Amino acid sequence: MTHAVLDDALFAAMESSILPTEQAESLPPLCYTSAEFYEFEKDAVFAREWLCVGRDSWAPEPGSYFTSFIADEPIVVARGRDGVLRAMSSVCQHRGMLVAEGCGKTRAFVCPYHHWTYTLDGTLAAAPAMEKSCGFDKSKASLPLFAVEIWEGFVFINFDREAAPLAPRLAKVTEILKPYGMADAEGEKPSGEQRYPWNWKVMFENNNDGYHASKLHQGPLHDFIPSELAEFPDDLPDDTAGYYRTNRTLHPDASFNATQRAVLPVFTGLTDDERHRMVFANLPPTLSLVMTADAVIYLILRADGPESHRVDQGVLTAPGSSADPAFRHKMAMNMQAAGEIIDQDLHVDELVQVGLRSRFAPRGRYSWQEGAQRLFNSWLVPRYREAWARQQRG
């Protein structure tokens, strides 16, 4: 017999996860494994928060579009003839068929099932043979539109069109990332997605975890960024939409390749001091960033189940980098090293998910080098608390 996992005791227990790092413990394991909790989380987090779906450059001209899928919601992002980027449901309002797949360029979205046709702003333009349907009003069958905001070149959508703006709640994060000039950075659209069999929060926690770096990644590809040089901000506002850590490096212009140094052009906005560190930033629940002196690796996480998610992984470089005839070879140096490090992380993430299913899974205590985990919890727990209170009020 299956028992409900959501109750007052569960949410009260989460309060210990947002204590100061030296006192805090990890979230209850069922937050990473339970289908019931994932359904709760879809309302508590994904239905109300700003979700990264791609880059503004992925739809550069009128008629261009790309699609995404987050927490069971198919999404299409398209640039209209007026140059405005819009996001909408890609679910046809007739019988539920998707009107768009992949990416490309189009004059309109035509449902392949019954040829209902939608303009680039989601308006239903044609519905064949519906003239005998009583009370059918074409103007009320447009694709649902979502709120859209562009931050540092990344496209964010919100299913709640009345949601508070994103950028003001990212002031501290924006300040620390400003030297990288991501809005103007170069980077091709990722060619394909990866799907991983573990909870999206496991991935987020690993991506900003300084504690494991000198252990799991020990060796010449990572030793120049030791765990003991991790630093965590103590001035993030309570309503922040993201968080970060910085990590000092043993030499300037450190980068992930066999030379340990930048081989691509260094971002010109970096000061001498900033060239002696890396930055790791998370904008939950969808965007994770790793910033080196010559490249930004980004991961767009798209939850699709209690124990699985999809990832779009891409790289941004300084403007003009790709003009170098050796760019492809230099990028390959970086990605070979990054790939080895990422493979180590992926192996650990998969086994962490296995461990979290165990009846012996702990609520572990944190090292000071895991300050980012406490920052993540401090983002999550209030949202869980508020959603549970809404449910209880009915």
1 pLDDT tier (thresholds 50, 70, 90) = very low
pLDDT confidence band for 3 (50 / 70 / 90): low
In a domain, 216, yes or no: yes
Same domain, 174 and 276: yes
* Same-domain pairing of 176 and 321: yes
Do both 79 and 141 map to the same domain? yes
What digits encode the pLDDT tens for the residues 116-161? 999 999 999 999 999 999 999 999 999 999 999 999 999 999 999 9
If asked whether residues 141 and 113 sit together in one domain, one would say yes
pLDDT of amino acid 4: 83
pLDDT number for residue 197: 98
- Of 238 and 31, the one with more pLDDT: 31
Q: What percentage of the chain carries pLDDT values higher than 70?
A: 99
For 273-285, b where at least 16 C-beta lie within 10 A, e where not — what string? ebbbbbbbbbbbb
Q: Does 192 lie in the same domain as 268?
A: yes
Whether residue 271 is contained in a domain is answered as: yes
Same domain for 172 and 154: no
Q: Say yes or no: 255 and 368 in one domain.
A: yes
| Residue at token pair 């508020």 | 386
pLDDT over threshold 80, residue 298: yes
- Per-residue pLDDT of 213-270, as tens digits, reads 999 999 998 999 999 999 999 999 999 999 999 999 999 999 999 999 999 999 999 9
Q: SS3 for the chain, per residue?
A: CCCCCCCHHHHHHHHHHHCCCCCCECCCHHHHCCHHHHHHHHHHHHCCCCEEEEEHHHCCCCCEEEEEEECCEEEEEEECCCCCEEEEECECCCCCCECCCCEEECCCEECCCCCCEECCCCCEEECCCCCCCCCCCHHHCCCCEEEEEEECCEEEEECCCCCCCCHHHHHHHHHHHHHHCHHHCECCCCCCCEEECCCHHHHHHHHCCCCCHHHHCCCCCCCCCCHHHEECCCCCCCCCCCEEEEEECCCCCECCCCCCECCCCCCCCCCCCHHHEEEEEEECCCEEEEECCCCEEEEEEEEEECCEEEEEEEEEECCCHHHCCCHHHHHHHHHHHHHHHHHHHHHHHHHHHHHHCCCCCCCCECCHHHHHHHHHHHHHHHHHHHHHHHHHHC
- Decide if 280 contacts 147 (C-beta within 8 A): no
pLDDT value at position 2?
53
pLDDT in tens, 103-113: 999 999 999 99
Instruction: Report how far apart, in Å, the C-alpha atoms of 83 and of each of 80, 128, 187, 219 are.
Output: 5, 29, 21, 48
| % of the chain exceeding 90 in pLDDT | 97
What separation, in Å, do the N-terminal and C-terminal C-alpha atoms of the chain show? 26
Q: How far apart are CA 226 and CA 210, in angstroms?
A: 8
CA–CA dist 293, 267 (Å, integer): 6
- Position 18 pLDDT exceeds 70: yes
Look up the pTM and report it: 0.96
Q: Are residues 60 and 203 in the same domain?
A: no
Query: Domain span at residue 120?
Result: 51-158
Average pLDDT of the chain is 96
Q: Which of 133, 158, 183 is the last residue of a domain?
A: 158
How much is the pLDDT for 44? 97
Q: Which residues contact 256 (CB under 8 A, 6 or more apart)?
A: 221, 222, 292, 334, 337, 338, 341
Contact status, residue 49 vs residue 373, Cβ threshold 8 Å: no
Residue 152, domain CATH: 2.102.10.10
Q: Tokens 């504690």 appear where?
A: 211
Tell me: do 192 and 325 sit in the same domain: yes
Structural domains counted in the chain: 2
Give residue-wise pLDDT tens across range 270-288: 999 999 999 999 999 999 9
Q: What would the mean pLDDT of 48-74 be, rounded to a whole number?
A: 97
Q: Which amino acid is at 243?
A: Y
CATH number at residue 265: 3.90.380.10
Last residue of a domain, one of 113, 139, 158: 158
